Amino acid sequence: MSVLEVANLTVRYGAVEAVRNLSLTVGPGEAITLIGPNGAGKSSTLKGIVGLVGCSGSVHYQGQPLSQRTPEALAAKGLVMVPEKRELFVSMTVEDNLLLGAFTRYQRREKSIAQDLEWVYNLFPRLRERRWQLAGTMSGGEQQMLAIGRALMGRPKLLLLDEPSLGLAPLIVQEIFRILAELKAQGVPILLVEQNARMALKLADRGYVLEAGELVMEGRGQELLHDPRVIESYLGIRAQSQT
Ligand X SMILES: Nc1ncnc2c1ncn2[C@@H]1O[C@H](COP(=O)(O)OP(=O)(O)OP(=O)(O)O)[C@@H](O)[C@H]1O
CB nearer ligand X, residue 95 or residue 162: 162
How far apart (Å, rounded) are the C-alpha atoms in residues 97 and 101? 7
How far apart (Å, rounded) are the C-alpha atoms in residues 205 and 30? 6
Instruction: Count other C-beta atoms under 10 Å from residue 172's C-beta.
Output: 19
Amino acid at position 241, single letter? S
Instruction: Count other C-beta atoms under 10 Å from residue 47's C-beta.
Output: 22
Closest approach, Cβ 127 to Mg ion, in A, equals 25
**Is the four-CA dihedral 35, 216, 43, 33 of positive or negative sign?**
negative
Residue 144 makes contact with Mg ion by CB under 5 A: no
Q: How far is CA 132 from the centre of its chain?
A: 26
Binding mask 56-75 for Mg ion (x = CB under 5 A): --------------------
CB nearer Mg ion, residue 39 or residue 136: 39
**Residues in contact with ligand X by the rule CB under 6 A:** 13, 16, 18, 36, 38-44, 195
CB nearer ligand X, residue 81 or residue 123: 81
10 binds, among ligand X, Mg ion, none (CB under 5 to 8 A by kind): none
195 binds, among Mg ion, ligand X, none (CB under 5 to 8 A by kind): ligand X
Closest approach, Cβ 212 to ligand X, in A, equals 9
How far apart (Å, rounded) are the C-alpha atoms in residues 58 and 2? 14
How far apart (Å, rounded) are the C-alpha atoms in residues 231 and 94? 39
Residue 32 near residue 24, CB atoms below 8 Å: yes
Q: Name residues whose C-beta falls within 8 Å of residue 65's C-beta, 6 or more positions apart in sequence.
A: 58, 59
Q: DSSP label at 195? A: S
Binding footprint of Mg ion, residue count (CB under 5 A): 2
CB nearer ligand X, residue 123 or residue 148: 148
Closest approach, Cβ 210 to Mg ion, in A, equals 10
CB nearer Mg ion, residue 41 or residue 141: 41
CB nearer Mg ion, residue 26 or residue 40: 40
Closest approach, Cβ 9 to ligand X, in A, equals 12
39 binds, among ligand X, Mg ion, none (CB under 5 to 8 A by kind): ligand X
Q: Phi, psi (5° rounding) for residue 126?
A: -60, -35
**Closest among 239, 86, 23, 37 to 101, alpha carbons compared:** 86
Binding mask 24-43 for Mg ion (x = CB under 5 A): ------------------xx
Closest approach, Cβ 35 to ligand X, in A, equals 9
Closest approach, Cβ 134 to ligand X, in A, equals 27
